[in-house]
Structure 1
């Protein structure tokens, strides 16, 4: 049974994949589907409730359209999540390959550095990096990317250790293949499965971390829309305009849940033990 056939038989993968596709489309077409400028203020319509005539999801304390801000917030969160995980994946893959393939002192040095990074709580380390670099979207991407490197390094290292002495690797050594070719042409393509699964799950964690940093005022800076920033601003107005906190929370929860469940489904689909089912 092919991967595509198994994918369409997995209801979790299909449903979560469609939800993520819808979120990506909304983020990509934000300038088209957003009914208003997300930073435009309408003082006459401040704290408008959900279902208002001109504002489907209501407005915030400045009269800004919540629907437009949620849609643009999706664009920001996905950009930060994917870009930061891309940094983590590349750096973690290279370090994990080096540690797993060469072993000895190379493995010891790399993994002890990773252990030091693992010793810090993820959000605390991200806060420290952003505090040192300064707030902003690009700084947030870099901070989250650095925080996730140890996870990818450990994942790749474990996968390399399990395959580096298999027959196809020994054959490549026997015909005189260079170390770089063995690592990146023989080993890396054969350990893609755990790397892809880890990346899909890490995106949800990156979105959550970005929201936490924006909530604290260290991530995406106002007036640019961010789910975390929207939740932070809504704390004072929850009773007057509950939609201010409900809609960004719902969007963030749905996105994170979809990425997590899709990652779990992808892990099952890529498991060699399930390929014959």
Structure 2
């Protein structure tokens, strides 16, 4: 940005800040911003405009303080449109106030073009930063979920349990299959209990994945028992005409463990104190 134009913006910065804060208050109608308290919203807005003016004063778009501020907004869960709309309002306020106080029309046109280019450059930089940080956060969360979503847990010698929680899609079903087969071999399991207590909906696709998993376990020499079948799940399975008759099913994990112990020729008995 040209030195003269930058100096004009900084000369009228108090009026620009006042006009900008007034416009930014209208953003509060957005659903994503309604839950933020008035004091936090105002302090964050003031910090945003301060960072913009510092960036403008230093004439460095990729300013460290502005980047750190945007990173903080990302961590706090603020929406991206607060940043983009805030920059557009900064442009509008700057153009309007400088135009009202400038005598030469030609300088107004030059200013408009220069500030427009500057705002576009800042928007592109911050959007890239926001998108990259968001994608990285989503990727890390996805990897953490994968690591925790389908563990095979040995509970007794030759008996393991795989608790399933949440929705099962095709990608997750593939992960379940891999963990299941690797765990059966690693723990030398003879019986595997697949617990679907935490699965909210069992439809045809979910049942198909479970059947595939049980067949794969059978091929490596182990037996699958499906446990955690709630009454509503049982009714859904019947209504959909899904055939789960190829492997045992139990209503609770406790009954499944008892069955698994019997299949491995063991039982739980009470002892005298």
Compute the TM-score of the two structures, normalised by the length of structure 1.
Answer: 0.29
Structure 1 or 2: larger strand share?
2
Larger radius of gyration: 2
Structure 1 or 2: larger helix share?
1
Compute the TM-score of the two structures, normalised by the length of structure 2.
Answer: 0.29
